[in-house]
């Protein structure tokens, strides 16, 4: 009998959502056959069977969240008819876990009613006892299990106001009955939609955002880009974004506050000495942010080719969790579609994000003459807890200079 | 359907009217279900009421009174030869038993719970047949609470030896009585008969009495037994029993040495076995383990979702209070409540002289499993109330986690141990720490103070002892 536990899916990933089973209890499965699809907050993966045998027990239903190291499936490699019944019995009457949380009987009953595994809850009572309040806290945020994990974001639930008493005026009104007014369609919030919702909500509530905007004349940059691309030396074309990533990654070294994060529990600002630039990418599944690691050490061409391959992987769903993890700064480029500007939300727990608008020709004044400039609207949104407006203004000014004088910055780095 | 056959349709059928069964039935009925009970005995209450806890404790209480009176001379209580009228005592025990059994019947009646007397067997997934009454009961859920029975004598012995059930009926007070089996039943009844005037000899196969229990608790009783009994043979095997004119000639073997003894009566108290062998469980596909126990989850559910099992037929101690708690859980789960038998501590109580009781983890178990603990032990000799009553044998000990100071276990030997233990059980269930017990005001002068003192001992030392003792 083999108990297959959800394997480590990559750095910082503790759980995944079960999307679908390829098998049902009683099915025979061969090693490496697909077992199930799991979606983490980074990517969707198909998990293959580690053994050949008969599926004795599946532990979850699609939509369930499975923790890493939780038993996912029990496979009997030496199958006999009675095994299914046996394993069920063993599971149900098996020895209790040794490390049981301490809680009063009524609290234990409440946990069952709330469908919470009390052993997963951090107790704040004397001697680590789990209290009713701990259960409510856990239900509201599942906060305490994640708090300790570096890099993990904190879920903030707005349901139930008791634990959010710290935010005055925060009330969630019940939605009107839209169906009375006309036909509606309902869709449950799951997977990436849910992750995005959680992340953006956390970010807007936790981070005081400030936006600083400007426009860069990218005429010269465009010329350079076109010249480069026309040589066709490289397989892929350079994009505007690849230049911006290059420029930002080198500029961040002078602006550590925008490549940082806040640890509110320790009252510390963490400055990262590595420059992994994430870029927002639209995929059929929703928004993902692939990361170009150590962008400061890569050439524009290398960045461009990474952009292409990561975008492709994102689109066809083969992107892996590590490729979506450990970003330090994010750039979102909705300009490709349109818009005179954008005020993005910081990709929490990063400290800043750069939004790019659409490049359009505009009349600009240069040397007291009106000329046509190819203008790129840029916005830096930053965490005001870490930095003040002056630094953002300086950052944007420097970035503008770099992008407007690409030859200088390209030769400088 | 055969002519004259009765068919009932109910939500819940309970097999067995003992502490597990009748409690389950009452709770299920109170939760709005239609319930029937099948009981093979003519009266309700199971072993506990008819031939176990209740009659034995009634007997032990009477014997204890006799001893108390005899021991009260130094307090100035003058009595000239206390006599015990066994006929009257027998009647008194029966009155208590009948009274309680009628009480249970009334409780069931009040709730329109029908009781069928006969032996029930599963004949289909949702149907039982009750032998002797020609009754079929179709049910949505069943709770098996059929309890346990006294182990049969080894094959080949066809002698009218006593069981605990016989002894509790007080057929006579034998001049000499051999008790085979030094478990709690053997000890309790052995001491009771010693108090009634029998010369009692105890034979236990194991080198220790109650090997699962902490020996410091057991020793308090054994010390008393040594005063009361003619002989105690531990590590001794009974190799032969021969009927003789005056009773029995018994051959023992201890350390490869053979010796004999003559006794008027022999009480065999060598354990109990679950009543799962004739229930038609195979029809349901429910299997029992090698001890005859049915596997259940913490909701008391068997592998069949609609069949529950509670009490002596499931794993865990074969104790009435465990059965009745499980009975409630099963009924509540059937009613859709989120109940579970998630109890941390099930107290064990021995109505020996002195009483001993323990709850939570024993010191023996903690050592065996390498669970770190600190211990506080408070002797009753230092307790005012114990002194005033002349009942200073024994002690209270508390075992706590050395880091969190959570109370892990309590062991008590002494007067009222059976009552005192509940404070320990509550403390453990609630996740109390030593401090919680220490700062709780305990009334003075009572035995309950010993709990507080033991907790203080475990934490840092009691004010009622001369000096701090190291926690050993």
Contacts of B340 in chain A (CB under 8 A): 108-109, 112
Instruction: Let me know whether A126 and A227 are in one domain.
Output: no
Q: Is the ipTM of this complex over 0.90?
A: no
Q: In which region does residue B334 sit, left (phi positive, over 0), alpha (psi from -120 to 50) or beta (all else)?
A: alpha
Instruction: Let me know whether A232 and A266 are in one domain.
Output: yes
CATH no. for residue A120? 4.10.320.10
Q: A118 with B342: CB under 8 angstroms?
A: no
> How far lies A362's CA from each of A335, A355, A358, A380, A394, in Å?
15, 19, 12, 21, 24
Instruction: Let me know whether A89 and A148 are in one domain.
Output: no
Q: Do A103 and B338 touch (CB under 8 A)?
A: no
> Mutual orientation of helices A300-316 and A240-251 as an angle, nearest 10°?
110
Q: Does B301 touch chain A (CB under 8 A)?
A: yes
Instruction: Let me know whether A266 and A347 are in one domain.
Output: yes
Of A103, A112, A128, the CB nearest to B404: A128
**Selection from B71, B66, B99 nearest residue B85 by Cα:** B66
More confident residue, A190 or B352: B352
Instruction: Let me know whether A80 and A126 are in one domain.
Output: no
Q: Is residue A196 part of a domain?
A: no
Of B340, B344, B436, the CB nearest to A112: B340
Q: How many CA atoms lie within 13 A of A352 on its CB side?
A: 33
Q: Is residue A383 part of a domain?
A: yes
Q: What is the pLDDT of residues A351-376, one digit of tens each?
A: 999 999 999 999 999 899 999 999 99
Q: Is residue A203 part of a domain?
A: no
Instruction: Let me know whether A66 and A126 are in one domain.
Output: no
Q: Do A127 and B429 touch (CB under 8 A)?
A: no
CATH no. for residue A38? 2.40.50.100
Q: What is the pLDDT of residue B180?
A: 95
Q: Is residue A174 part of a domain?
A: no
C-alpha span between A109 and A114 (Å, rounded): 9
Q: Which of A164, A184, A201 is the last residue of a domain?
A: A164
Of B285, B342, B436, the CB nearest to A108: B342
Chains A–B, number of C-beta pairs less than 8 Å apart: 46
Q: Does B276 touch chain A (CB under 8 A)?
A: no
Shortest distance, CA A136 to any CA of chain B (angstroms): 17
Instruction: Let me know whether A18 and A72 are in one domain.
Output: yes
Contacts of B325 in chain A (CB under 8 A): none
More confident residue, A318 or B217: B217
Q: Do A89 and B285 touch (CB under 8 A)?
A: no
Q: Is residue A232 part of a domain?
A: yes
pLDDT over 90 (residue A397) = yes
Of B285, B405, B429, the CB nearest to A104: B429
Instruction: Let me know whether A109 and A29 are in one domain.
Output: no
Of A88, A102, A125, the CB nearest to B303: A88
Lowest model confidence (mean pLDDT) among A155-169, A333-347, B204-218: A155-169
Q: Do B297 and A127 touch (CB under 8 A)?
A: no
Encode chain B (472 residues) as per-residue pLDDT tens digits.
556 678 999 999 999 999 999 999 999 999 999 999 999 999 999 999 999 999 999 999 999 999 999 889 899 998 888 888 999 999 999 999 999 999 999 999 999 999 999 999 999 999 999 998 889 999 999 999 999 999 877 766 788 999 999 999 999 999 999 999 999 999 999 999 999 999 999 999 999 999 889 999 999 999 999 999 999 999 999 999 999 999 999 999 999 999 999 999 999 998 899 999 999 999 999 999 999 999 999 999 999 999 999 999 999 999 999 999 999 999 999 999 999 999 999 999 999 999 999 999 999 999 999 999 999 999 999 999 999 999 999 999 999 999 899 999 999 999 999 999 999 999 999 999 999 999 999 999 999 999 999 999 999 866 777 665 554 4
pLDDT over 80 (residue A169) = no
Q: Does B342 touch chain A (CB under 8 A)?
A: yes
What integer best gives the mean pLDDT of chain A?
Answer: 83
Instruction: Let me know whether A67 and A130 are in one domain.
Output: no
Residue in A126, A131, A132, A135 to test binding to B, most B beta-carbons within 10 Å: A126
Shortest distance, CA B351 to any CA of chain A (angstroms): 28
Question: Taking the mean position of all CA atoms in its chain, how far away is CA A49?
Answer: 27
Model confidence at A96, pLDDT cuts 50, 70, 90, reads very low
Instruction: Annotate B6-51 with three-state secondary structure.
Output: EEEEEEEEEECCCHHHHHHHHHHHHCCCCEEEEECCCCCCHHHHHH
Q: Does B69 touch chain A (CB under 8 A)?
A: no
Q: What is the pLDDT of residue A195?
A: 86
C-alpha span between B297 and A93 (Å, rounded): 5
Give me the catalytic one of B306, B416, B444, B464.
B444
Q: Which of A59, A93, A127 is the last residue of a domain?
A: A93
Shortest distance, CA A131 to any CA of chain B (angstroms): 11
Q: Do B303 and A89 touch (CB under 8 A)?
A: yes
Task: Judge whether B444 counts as a catalytic residue.
Answer: yes
Q: What is the pLDDT of residue A157?
A: 43
Q: Is residue A225 part of a domain?
A: yes
- Partners of B378 in beta bridges: B396
Contacts of B326 in chain A (CB under 8 A): none
Contacts of A113 in chain B (CB under 8 A): 338
Q: Does B315 touch chain A (CB under 8 A)?
A: yes
What's the whole-number mean pLDDT along residues A379-398? 95
Residue of B nearest to A106 (CA): B430
Model confidence at A24, pLDDT cuts 50, 70, 90, reads confident
Q: Is residue A201 part of a domain?
A: no
Instruction: Let me know whether A348 and A223 are in one domain.
Output: yes
Instruction: Let me know whether A318 and A406 are in one domain.
Output: yes
Contacts of B296 in chain A (CB under 8 A): 92-93
What are chain B's domains? 6-149+273-334 (3.50.50.60), 164-270 (3.50.50.60), 348-459 (3.30.390.30)
Model confidence at A412, pLDDT cuts 50, 70, 90, reads low
Instruction: Let me know whether A289 and A262 are in one domain.
Output: yes
Q: Do B431 and A105 touch (CB under 8 A)?
A: no
More confident residue, B334 or A160: B334
How many domains does chain A fold into? 3
Q: Is residue A387 part of a domain?
A: yes
CATH no. for residue A322? 3.30.559.10
Burial class (CB in 10 A: 0-12, 13-18, 19+), A19: middle
Contacts of A105 in chain B (CB under 8 A): 342-343, 429-430
Angle at A375 between CA A373 and CA A377, to 5 degrees: 160
What range defines the domain where residue A129 resides? 105-164
Contacts of A112 in chain B (CB under 8 A): 338-340
């Amino acid at each position: 009998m083999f108990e297959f536990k959800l394997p480590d899916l990559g750095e910082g990933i503790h759980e995944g959502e079960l999307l679908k089973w390829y098998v049902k209890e009683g099915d025979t499965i061969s090693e490496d056959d697909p077992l199930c699809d799991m979606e983490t907050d980074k990517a969707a993966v198909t998990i293959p069977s580690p053994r050949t045998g008969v599926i004795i027990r599946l532990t979850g239903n699609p939509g369930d969240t499975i923790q890493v190291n939780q038993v996912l499936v029990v496979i009997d490699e030496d199958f006999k008819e009675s095994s299914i019944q046996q394993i069920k019995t063993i599971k149900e009457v098996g020895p209790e876990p040794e490390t049981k949380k301490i809680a009063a009987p009524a609290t234990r009953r409440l946990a069952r009613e709330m469908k919470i595994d009390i052993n997963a809850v951090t107790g704040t009572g004397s001697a680590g006892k789990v209290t009713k309040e701990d259960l409510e806290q856990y239900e509201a945020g599942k906060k305490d299990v994640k708090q300790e994990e570096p890099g993990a974001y904190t879920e903030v639930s707005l349901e139930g106001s008791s634990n959010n008493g710290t935010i005055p005026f925060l009330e969630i009104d019940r939605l009107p009955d839209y169906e009375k007014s006309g036909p509606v369609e309902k869709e449950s919030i799951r997977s990436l939609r849910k992750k995005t919702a959680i992340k953006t909500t956390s970010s807007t509530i936790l981070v005081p955002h400030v936006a600083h905007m400007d426009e860069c004349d990218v005429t010269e940059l465009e010329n350079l880009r076109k010249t480069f691309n026309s040589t066709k030396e490289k397989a892929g074309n350079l994009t505007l974004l690849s230049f911006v990533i290059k420029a930002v990654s080198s500029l961040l070294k002078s602006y550590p506050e925008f490549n940082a994060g806040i640890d509110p529990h320790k009252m510390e600002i963490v400055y990262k000495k590595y420059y992994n630039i994430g870029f927002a990418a639209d995929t059929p599944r929703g928004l993902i942010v692939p990361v170009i690691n150590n962008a400061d050490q890569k050439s524009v061409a290398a960045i461009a080719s990474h952009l292409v391959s990561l975008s492709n992987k994102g689109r066809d769903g083969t992107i892996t969790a590590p490729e979506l993890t450990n970003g330090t700064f994010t750039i979102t480029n909705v300009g490709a579609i349109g818009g005179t500007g954008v005020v993005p939300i910081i990709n929490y727990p990063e400290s800043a994000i750069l939004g790019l608008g659409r490049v359009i020709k505009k009349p600009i004044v240069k040397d007291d003459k009106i000329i046509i400039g190819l203008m790129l609207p840029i916005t830096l949104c930053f965490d005001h807890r870490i930095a003040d407006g002056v630094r953002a203004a300086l950052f944007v000014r420097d970035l503008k200079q770099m992008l407007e004088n690409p030859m200088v910055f390209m030769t400088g780095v | 359907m055969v002519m004259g056959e009765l068919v009932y349709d109910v939500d819940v059928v309970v097999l067995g009217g003992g502490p597990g069964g009748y409690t389950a039935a009452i709770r299920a009925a109170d939760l709005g279900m239609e319930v029937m009970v099948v009981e093979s005995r003519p009266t309700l209450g199971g072993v506990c009421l008819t031939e176990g806890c209740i009659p034995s404790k009634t007997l032990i209480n009477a014997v204890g009174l006799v001893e108390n009176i005899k021991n009260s001379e130094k307090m100035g209580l003058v009595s000239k030869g206390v006599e015990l009228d066994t006929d009257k005592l027998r009647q008194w025990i029966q009155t208590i038993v009948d009274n309680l059994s009628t009480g249970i019947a009334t409780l069931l009646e009040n709730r329109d719970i029908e009781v069928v007397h006969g032996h029930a067997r599963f004949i289909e997934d949702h149907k039982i047949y009750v032998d002797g009454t020609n009754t079929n009961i179709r049910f949505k859920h069943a709770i098996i609470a059929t309890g346990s029975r006294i182990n049969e004598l080894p094959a080949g012995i066809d002698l009218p030896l006593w069981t605990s059930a016989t002894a509790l009926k007080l057929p006579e007070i034998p001049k000499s009585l051999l008790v085979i089996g030094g478990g709690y039943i053997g000890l309790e009844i052995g001491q009771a008969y010693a108090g009634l005037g029998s010369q009692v000899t105890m034979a236990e196969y194991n080198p220790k009495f109650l090997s699962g229990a902490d020996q410091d608790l057991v020793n308090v009783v054994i010390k008393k037994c040594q005063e009361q009994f003619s002989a105690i043979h531990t590590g001794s095997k009974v190799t032969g029993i021969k009927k003789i004119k005056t009773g029995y000639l018994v051959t023992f073997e201890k350390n490869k040495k053979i010796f004999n003894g003559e006794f008027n009566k022999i009480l065999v108290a060598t354990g109990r076995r679950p009543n799962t062998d004739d229930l038609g469980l195979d029809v349901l596909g429910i299997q029992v383990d090698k001890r005859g126990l049915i596997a259940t989850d913490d909701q008391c559910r068997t592998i069949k979702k609609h069949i529950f099992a509670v009490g002596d037929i499931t794993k865990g101690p074969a104790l009435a209070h465990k059965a009745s708690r499980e009975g409630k859980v099963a009924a509540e789960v059937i009613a859709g409540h989120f109940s579970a038998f998630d109890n941390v501590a099930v107290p064990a109580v021995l109505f020996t002289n002195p009483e001993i009781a323990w709850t939570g983890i024993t010191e023996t178990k903690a050592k065996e499993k390498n669970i770190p603990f600190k211990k506080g032990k408070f002797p009753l000799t230092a307790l005012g109330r114990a002194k005033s009553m002349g009942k200073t044998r024994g002690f209270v000990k508390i075992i706590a986690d050395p880091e969190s100071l959570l109370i892990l276990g309590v062991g008590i030997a002494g007067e009222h141990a059976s009552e005192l233990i509940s404070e320990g059980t509550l403390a453990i269930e609630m996740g109390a720490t030593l401090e919680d017990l220490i700062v709780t005001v305990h009334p003075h002068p009572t035995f309950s103070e010993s709990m507080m003192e033991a907790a203080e001992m475990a934490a840092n030392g009691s004010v009622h002892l001369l000096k701090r003792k190291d926690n050993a």
